Amino acid sequence: MRSPTVRHRRLGRELRRLREQTGLSPEAAAHQLGWSRSKLNRVENARLLPSAEDIGNACDLYGVDSIGKAGLIQLGKDAGKRGWWTAYSDVFTGSYIALETEATAIQKWEPILVPGLLQNEDYAREIISAARPELTTAELDRRVDARMARKINLIGSRAPKLHALVDETVLRRHVGKPGVMARQLDDILQAAAWPNVTIQVLPMKAGAHGGVEGGFSVLSFGDEDPDVGYVEGPAGDVYVEATDQVRRLKLTFERLVGVCLSPEESVAFIASVRSEHVP
């Protein structure tokens, strides 16, 4: 199931709060709105984006004043806006990029590859072509362009805080022709100097650890919007939104931080590994 955007989730949560505030049951509200019980449930759980007319009718039923009504209708319009990533709808088939773009903080554990937001063009090309050898040159170029476009999200006044944990093997794995990994590690070192980026290395000497089940991300949005977990795999994407499951991912991340090298030690370690790769 695709995960809704942050604004969409906020809209659904607010409409549910207003209904509950009036004391209306889901069945009673759906009946008075002329909706099915299923439609009300999907609207409140952000599985269906209601029209401006639907939002207005709900506001009237719940006794929302004109200012609040206008605000919710605008929120609905914003939730349906096309973002930059829609230009790459053939590449980004889920909703992760929409969530990533709106996140204020991203926690990422990556045991296999350099995190996508930190990949440079040459590294990304090698990784994508290895995973998808059937792609034509044009299709490969398209996917590399899309991945590079994501990196813009880390720059600017609204850039999220990225805390990335990477396994030592990610740094030592030779990818592509000589020089590709050296340049990639140079780029990681450059990103580590940015104020909104923290990179830590989990050394092989740490042995068994809490992240052995695979990589994941946790995205935070500030205000009252709940965190979302994300796990990507060959069989598809999984969005983790249940509170207890997200809490488990965050606890796993905290435990991994505890066995990683410090950010300062990690920078020094990456620099030493970089010297092992042919420039």
In a domain? residue 109:
yes
In a domain? residue 84:
no
How many other C-beta atoms lie within 10 A of the C-beta of residue 221?
A: 19
Domain boundaries, position 267: 93-274
In a domain? residue 108:
yes
> Distance between CA atoms of 29 and 60, rounded to whole angstroms?
11
The CATH number of residue 227's host domain is 3.30.870
What is the predicted pLDDT for the residue at 215?
A: 95
Co-location of 169 and 36 in the same domain: no
Cα dihedral 134, 136, 142, 145, rounded to 10, equals 80
Residue type, 232: E
Co-location of 73 and 193 in the same domain: no
- Can you state the percent helix, strand and coil of the chain, rounding each to 5? 55, 15, 35
> Distance between CA atoms of 232 and 97, rounded to whole angstroms?
12
Which domain-ending residue is among 47, 79, 111? 79
Burial class (CB in 10 A: 0-12, 13-18, 19+), 79: buried
Give the pair of three-digit tokens for residue 178.
């000589």
What is the predicted pLDDT for the residue at 153?
A: 81
> Distance between CA atoms of 198 and 266, rounded to whole angstroms?
10
Distance of CA 62 to the CA centre of its chain: 33
What is the predicted pLDDT for the residue at 82?
A: 67
Which domain-ending residue is among 79, 105, 121? 79
What is the predicted pLDDT for the residue at 130?
A: 95
Give yes or no for a contact between 123 and 114, defined as CB atoms under 8 angstroms apart.
yes
Cβ neighbours for 138, distance < 8 A, ≥ 6 positions apart: none
Co-location of 35 and 141 in the same domain: no
Q: Where are the alpha helices (DSSP H) in the chain?
A: 6-22, 26-33, 37-44, 52-62, 66-79, 96-102, 121-131, 137-150, 168-172, 180-192, 243-259, 263-274
* Eight-class DSSP state of 117: G
In a domain? residue 85:
no
Helices 52-62, 66-79: inter-axial angle, 10-degree rounding: 150
Q: Look at the chain and count its residues.
A: 279
> Distance between CA atoms of 130 and 132, rounded to whole angstroms?
6
The reply to whether the predicted model has a pTM over 0.95 is: no
Cβ neighbours for 242, distance < 8 A, ≥ 6 positions apart: none
In a domain? residue 1:
no
Co-location of 267 and 173 in the same domain: yes
What is the predicted pLDDT for the residue at 4?
A: 58
Co-location of 165 and 205 in the same domain: yes
Co-location of 263 and 195 in the same domain: yes
In a domain? residue 179:
yes
Co-location of 68 and 109 in the same domain: no
Domain count for the chain: 2
What is the predicted pLDDT for the residue at 279?
A: 64
pLDDT tens by residue, the chain, 279 residues: 344 577 888 899 899 999 999 999 999 999 999 999 999 999 998 889 999 999 999 999 999 999 999 999 988 888 777 677 777 878 887 778 888 888 999 999 999 999 999 999 999 999 999 999 999 999 999 999 999 998 888 887 779 999 999 999 999 999 999 899 999 999 999 999 999 999 999 999 998 998 989 999 999 987 778 899 999 877 778 888 889 999 999 999 999 999 999 999 999 999 999 988 876
Which domain-ending residue is among 79, 105, 130? 79
Co-location of 30 and 164 in the same domain: no
In a domain? residue 260:
yes
Co-location of 108 and 161 in the same domain: yes
What is the predicted pLDDT for the residue at 3?
A: 46
Co-location of 130 and 231 in the same domain: yes
What is the predicted pLDDT for the residue at 2?
A: 44
Co-location of 113 and 73 in the same domain: no
> Distance between CA atoms of 113 and 116, rounded to whole angstroms?
8
In a domain? residue 86:
no
Give the pair of three-digit tokens for residue 140.
């490969």
Cα dihedral 84, 128, 165, 8, rounded to 10, equals 30
> Distance between CA atoms of 236 and 174, rounded to whole angstroms?
26
Co-location of 54 and 144 in the same domain: no
The CATH number of residue 60's host domain is 1.10.260.40
